[in-house]
Structure 1
């Protein structure tokens, strides 16, 4: 990959983006057509736009389409957030589900569930919990004077603490609330509505757009703090702003899909393997690949596995655990982490 010239890498990235986009369209069409009520592909597409049999329109527009769109948007958000965190921390093991962000999102969402609040407010609870995790991460790191490249260690402690708090709340919940909270904390797209998708999806899309606009700052930070300062960029302020952006993006995505594991960790590695060093084109490929992976995992959980009702987070965790193990084995420098 390194032997390719810059124009060659750009062409490769754009070609991969086109391939990922085509696969995404095909998988979306399959997801809209598959279910207990199987529809011909053309009928499902017509129903998506309000044409055809009223029953088909109801099934596609109200039950399947919100779940599919939620998977696409949340997958893209998680992947982009993971890419930002890995570049900021300069650590290939950094991701929202490792450094405590999704743990904080779970804490905020479950706490909101305990109050009996509307499902539409869960993204706000997840965002608040994710910001709480970021504050804890930054506070512990500042007090212990941990370098940015080793913040993953502090994040693991934050993640474990918040997970313990979530488990305690679930144990203390009434049975009906405990089941709902447990399903959400595993990572599930079940029962998504257009209200949730409209609010959460719009916020994730806007935050992803900000991440694309921040690529130049990230590229300057990649040169090192001294070089960044020489180019007129305040490294500390820039890193704090980008970290906040990544936390907000991961929290919003978790509010839509639950704390789905390993998408944010694995996708940036896969994109680097296929497309090379980070560029705006590879960030677009990261978003497309994250959306494709989460939608494929949800389809696998729904229709292709013998276990009925398996949450999508269980599928991504099963696929991601070997990836994390292989990554740690291949990178001895991070083995202690």
Structure 2
């Protein structure tokens, strides 16, 4: 029931995203335009549809990766944008931009490197990876990578610096069908995470009990963390950092799933979150084309504060 409701909300937001912009369309006009590629349909298929599809995939990917890291580290703050994975992916992507390399590959390398660094810094021989240490060390990594990214931009040419600064705000502006094709590369990474609900649920148990239930704990953690890091890096390469999506989707999905990790709910919440933020970006100031990342922060921060306050009072984490 909850999944069906979220699917309906996501579809309604998707229809609104196709209707809202500099030219507002009635729902009937949107449906008619989808069937006719000429006239208004050219605007829908050429501009709004690619933006919508990338936003949906990006939001779902961030929701999934946030839930995975929060579950593996058993901490609601352990999302990619808090523990430095997003920032290390952004640093790798900017390095690729400045050197003419593949931005997606640079972001993937940066995200994986950040994950390895956090695991190494937070490792304890007796207890394994400490969740508190991972969050604290991750905050330091995030600051370091952000500073290194700014240093790269300051040394870049005006054109590259302007492009990188715009991208770092987190935006869906300028998205086209080539970016949709790149976004489709992320689906093979997202599918195993969507199907990992039972594994994530068991990984929240003590390691001995999880092994007794058939989970290969070290392999499962490494595999899920690597997939989540790659998914985060891929999203960052496409849209830049979209703040608070990964951080808020996990706790919200847990509330709907009665405290248990639900990758499907997290993906739907993330997709709806980004779509709503993009709708606001175009509805409030269609001429200014403000970045979507601004609205994800404006929406996500209050929601996150409310949800985390409730979760901590109930001692669910």
TM-score using structure 2 length: 0.89
Deviation at 1:305, TM superposition (A): 4.8
User: Which range moves more in the overlay, 320-329 or 90-99?
Assistant: 320-329
CA–CA separation in structure 1 for the residues paired with 2:188 and 2:260: 21
Pairwise CA distance, 1:329: 5.9
Is 1:124 equivalent to 2:105 in the alignment? yes
CA-CA distance at 1:233 after TM superposition: 3.3
8 Å CA contact retained: 2:62, 2:246:
yes
- Pair 1:312-2:292 in alignment: yes
Find the counterpart in structure 2 of residue 262 from structure 1.
244
Q: Return the alpha-carbon distance in structure 1 between the equivalents of residues 229 and 82 of structure 2.
A: 12
Counterparts of 2:204 and 2:42 in 1: how far apart (Å)? 49
Unaligned 5+ runs, structure 2:
none
Instruction: Tell me: CA distance 1:306–1:213, structure 2 relative to 1, closer, same or farther (3 Å).
Output: closer
- Among residues 121, 127, 134, which one is paired with 1:140 in the alignment? 121
Pairs within 5 Å for 1:160-171: 160-171=143-154
SS in structure 2 of the partner of residue 96 of structure 1: coil
Q: CA deviation at 1:122?
A: 2.4
Counterpart position of 1:247: 229
CA distance in 1 between partners of 2:274 and 2:68 (Å)? 19
Find the aligned partners of 1:87 and 1:292 in 2 and give their Cα distance.
21
SS in 1 for 2:153: helix
Residues 197 and 256 of structure 1 are in contact (CA less than 8 Å); yes or no, is this contact kept in structure 2? no
The CA deviation at 1:275 is 2.9
CA spacing shift, 1:213–1:332, aligned 2, 3 Å: closer
Q: Aligned to 1:72, which of 36, 39, 56?
A: 56
* Deviations, residues 148-172 of structure 1 (Å, cap 9, x unaligned): 3221111111111111111111112
Paired with 1:333 and 1:144, the residues of 2 have a C-alpha distance of 31
- Change in CA separation of 1:72 and 1:240 when aligned onto 2, cut-off 3 Å: same
**Conserved? CA contact 2:85–2:232, under 8 Å:** yes
Distance change >3 Å, CA 307–CA 269, structure 1 → 2: farther
Q: Which runs of 5+ in 1 are unaligned?
A: 1-14
1:195 aligns with one of 178, 182, 198: 178
- Report the Cα offset of residue 139 of structure 1: 2.5
1:47 matched to which residue of 2?
33
TM-score normalised to structure 1 length: 0.84
What is the number of equivalent residue pairs in this alignment? 312
Task: Give yes or no for contact 2:195–2:263 (8 Å, CA) kept in 1.
Answer: no
Cα 1:33–1:324 change in 2 (3 A) is closer
1:253 Cα deviation (Å)? 1.8
